[in-house]
Amino acid sequence: MNSSIKKALVLSMALVLCFVFYGCGKEEESPTKVADEFLKSIKNSDQDAIKKVYKGKAFDPFAALKLFEDDNESGSPDSYVSKDLLPKAKEFDYKISEEKIDGDKATVNVKITSYNIAGFMVNWITDYMQTASEQFADSIPDDSQMEQMLKESYENQKSTLKKDLKKDVKLNLVKDDGKWKVNTLKKMMSYLML
* Cα distance between residue 115 and residue 192, in whole Å: 8
**pLDDT at residue 9 in the model:** 42
Residues 20-42 pLDDT 10s = 444 454 557 899 999 999 999 88
pLDDT tens figures, 40-84 = 988 888 888 888 998 877 666 666 555 555 555 555 666 666 677
> What does the alpha-carbon distance between residue 115 and residue 126 come to, in Å, rounded to a whole number?
18
Q: pLDDT tens-digit profile of 110-165?
A: 999 999 888 888 888 898 888 888 888 788 888 888 888 888 888 888 888 899 99
Asked whether the predicted pLDDT for residue 8 surpasses 90, the reply is no
H/E stretch holding 34 reads helix 31-43
In Å, what is the CA distance from 106 to each residue of 30, 69, 154?
Answer: 10, 37, 42
Bridge partners for 95 per DSSP: 111
8 A C-beta contact, residue 85 and residue 72: no
